[in-house]
C-alpha cells in the first residue's frame, strides 16, 4: 500500500487535465450494446478504468488500452455476470446492468461498492429498468435481471437528493434498444451524461434532450461501433483550482471546458481569485488572502459534491467563517476529522460544516477515506507547514491520473512511498 509524503510548496506553471473518469466509465459500459468495434480516446489511466476493463473482459469483450485509447472488440463469450470482487471496488461498474439487459436480455450484477460517503441506494436504477419491462430481484448481494424484451415508457427518475447520474446512464443505455419511445424525466444533466449520449448517437442511437431534465429515446433494433473522444475531467480541473487557492499559486489549467465549471469558477471569484477563461483552458491568480464563502453542493449545474472536500481546504485558511452545505451526499464529511488533525477548525452539524479560518495548517499523518477526501488531504499537505503523510492513497489512484507527477512539474514537494 502506497502513501504520499508532502511538504509545504509554492506552485507555478501549466497543468494539463486528463480525460473524464466519470464520462469514460459509462461509455465503456455502453460498448456492451454492440458486437462491433469501438475506439475511445482520451481515457485516463486510472485504477477504476482498469477495473472496468476487467469487467468488460469477463463479459466477453477483448480490450486493448494504450496511450489513452481503448479499443473494444467482441469475442464469442456471452457471459452476463459482473462479479462482486470487481464491482465492490467501484460504484460506476453497476452501470453495466442496463446495457447487459438490453443486449443480452439477462444480467447478474453485484450490488456496488466504492467510496464510503454515505448511503447510495440503487432503487432508481431498478425502478427505471422494471418500468422498461425487466424482471428484477435482489438475491445474495446480486441484482438478477431478465427481460424477453424492453418497451419504451415514461419514467420519472427523481430521487430524495435529486437526479441520479448513474441511474440516468443505466436507463438511457437500456432504452436505446427498447421498443418504441422512452421518456426519462427528472434525469441528470451532468456533462458526463451528455457525453454518454453523444457516444450512443455515434453508435446509431436516436436521443433528444441530453443536458436537460427530460430526455427522449427512440429505440433501435441494433447499434453499431463508434469512434469517440471523451471530455476533459471537470473534477480534476476543479481540484487544481482548489490547489491554487490553498497554496496561493498562480496556475494555468489546460485541456478543460470552463463551461462545465461555471459554479466552481464563481465560488473561486467570491473567494477573491481572478480567473481568466479561454475556450479550452483557464488561468487562476489567487488572492493575497482568501475570503470566506458559503457553498451548497447541488446536482449539475450547481457546485459539485465531488469538489466539496477539496474546497474545504482553502476555506480552512480563509479570513472568517465559511459554511458548506452538502445536499447530494449529506454524510460526505469523512475528511473533516483528518483536516482538523492538521489544525483546521471545522465543526459538523448534520449536512452542514462550519469552517473557522485559521492562520495556517500543520503537517501530520492522515488517512484517506475516499477518492475526493484523498485529494483534499494532498492539497492540505501542500499548504501546511512541515511534513504531511497521506496514507491509503489507493483511493486517489482510482480517480486522478499521475497526480504526483503533475504536481511535481508545478514545483510541488511530493513523493510516493510504499
Kindly report, residue by residue over 93-109, the tens digit of the pLDDT.
Answer: 889 999 999 999 999 99
Q: Which residues make Cβ contacts (< 8 Å) with residue 173, sequence separation at least 6?
A: 26, 29, 30, 33, 95, 98, 99, 102, 196, 200
pLDDT band at 76 (very low <50, low <70, confident <90, very high): confident
**Rounded mean pLDDT of 216-243?**
98
42/395: higher pLDDT: 42
Domain 21-229: CATH architecture, name and number where available: Alpha-beta prism (3.65)
Enumerate the domain spans of the chain.
3-17+232-417, 21-229
Q: What is the mean pLDDT of the chain?
A: 94
Worst-scoring range by mean pLDDT, 24-28, 128-132, 344-348, 395-399? 395-399
Asked if the model's pLDDT at residue 246 lies above 60, the reply is yes
**Rounded mean pLDDT of 176-196?**
97
Chain-centre distance for alpha carbon 405: 21
> What percent of the chain is predicted at pLDDT more than 90?
87
Answer whether 3-17+232-417 and 21-229 agree in fold.
yes
pTM for the full predicted model: 0.95
Cell numbers found for residue 210: 441530453
Q: How far apart are CA 342 and CA 358, in angstroms?
A: 11
Asked if the model's pLDDT at residue 115 lies above 80, the reply is no
What is the pLDDT at residue 3? Answer: 96
Asked if the model's pLDDT at residue 211 lies above 80, the reply is yes
Asked if the model's pLDDT at residue 119 lies above 70, the reply is no
**Rounded mean pLDDT of 240-259?**
98
pLDDT band at 387 (very low <50, low <70, confident <90, very high): very high
What is the pLDDT at residue 118? Answer: 47
Active site residues: 115
Q: Which residues make Cβ contacts (< 8 Å) with residue 266, sequence separation at least 6?
A: none
Inter-residue contact 398 to 386 (CB < 8 Å): no
Q: How far apart are CA 217 and CA 172, in angstroms?
A: 8
What is the pLDDT at residue 264? Answer: 98
What is the pLDDT at residue 117? Answer: 45
Worst-scoring range by mean pLDDT, 63-77, 228-242, 246-260, 354-368? 63-77
Kindly report, residue by residue over 259-278, the tens digit of the pLDDT.
Answer: 999 999 999 999 999 999 99
**Looking at domain 3-17+232-417, what is its CATH homologous superfamily?**
Enolpyruvate transferase domain (3.65.10.10)
Q: How far apart are CA 275 and CA 253, in angstroms?
A: 11
Inter-residue contact 50 to 66 (CB < 8 Å): no
Q: How far apart are CA 340 and CA 185, in angstroms?
A: 41
Amino acid at each position: 500500500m502506497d502513501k504520499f509524503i508532502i511538504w509545504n510548496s509554492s506552485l507555478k506553471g501549466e497543468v494539463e487535465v486528463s480525460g473524464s473518469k466519470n464520462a469514460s466509465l459509462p461509455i465503456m459500459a455502453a460498448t456492451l450494446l454492440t458486437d462491433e468495434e469501438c475506439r475511445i480516446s482520451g481515457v485516463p489511466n486510472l485504477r477504476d478504468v482498469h477495473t472496468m476493463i476487467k469487467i468488460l473482459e469477463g463479459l466477453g469483450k477483448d480490450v486493448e488500452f494504450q496511450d489513452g485509447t481503448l479499443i473494444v472488440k467482441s469475442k464469442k463469450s456471452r457471459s452476463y455476470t459482473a462479479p462482486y470482487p470487481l464491482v465492490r471496488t467501484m460504484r460506476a461498474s453497476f452501470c453495466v446492468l442496463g446495457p447487459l439487459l438490453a443486449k443480452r436480455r439477462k444480467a447478474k450484477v453485484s450490488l456496488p461498492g466504492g467510496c464510503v460517503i454515505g448511503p447510495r441506494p440503487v432503487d432508481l436504477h431498478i425502478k427505471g429498468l422494471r418500468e422498461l419491462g425487466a424482471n428484477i430481484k435482489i438475491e445474495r448481494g446480486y441484482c438478477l435481471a431478465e427481460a424477453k424484451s424492453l418497451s419504451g415508457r415514461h419514467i420519472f427518475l427523481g430521487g430524495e437528493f435529486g437526479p441520479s447520474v448513474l441511474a440516468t446512464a443505466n436507463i438511457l443505455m437500456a432504452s436505446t434498444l427498447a421498443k418504441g419511445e422512452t421518456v426519462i424525466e427528472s434525469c441528470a444533466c451532468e456533462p458526463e451524461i451528455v457525453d454518454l449520449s453523444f457516444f450512443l448517437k455515434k453508435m446509431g442511437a436516436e436521443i433528444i434532450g441530453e443536458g436537460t431534465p427530460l430526455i427522449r429515446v427512440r429505440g433501435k433494433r441494433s447499434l453499431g461501433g463508434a469512434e469517440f473522444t471523451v471530455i476533459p475531467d471537470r473534477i480534476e480541473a476543479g481540484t487544481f483550482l482548489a490547489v491554487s487557492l490553498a497554496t496561493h499559486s498562480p496556475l494555468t489549467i489546460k485541456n478543460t471546458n470552463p463551461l462545465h465549471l461555471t459554479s466552481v469558477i464563481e465560488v473561486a471569484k467570491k473567494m477573491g481569485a481572478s480567473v481568466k477563461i479561454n475556450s479550452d483552458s483557464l488561468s487562476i491568480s489567487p488572492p493575497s488572502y482568501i475570503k470566506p464563502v458559503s457553498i451548497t453542493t447541488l446536482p449539475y449545474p450547481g457546485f459539485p459534491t465531488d469538489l466539496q472536500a477539496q474546497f474545504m481546504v482553502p476555506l480552512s485558511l480563509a479570513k472568517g467563517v465559511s459554511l458548506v452545505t452538502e445536499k447530494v451526499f449529506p454524510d460526505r464529511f469523512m475528511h473533516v476529522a483528518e483536516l482538523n488533525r492538521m489544525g483546521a477548525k471545522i465543526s459538523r452539524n448534520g449536512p452542514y460544516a462550519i469552517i473557522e479560518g485559521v492562520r495556517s495548517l500543520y503537517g501530520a499523518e492522515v488517512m484517506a477515506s475516499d477518492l475526493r477526501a484523498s485529494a483534499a488531504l494532498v492539497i492540505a499537505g501542500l499548504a501546511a507547514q512541515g511534513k504531511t503523510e497521506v496514507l491509503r492513497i489507493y483511493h486517489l489512484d482510482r480517480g486522478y491520473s499521475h497526480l504526483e507527477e503533475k504536481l511535481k512539474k508545478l514545483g510541488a514537494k511530493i513523493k510516493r512511498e510504499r
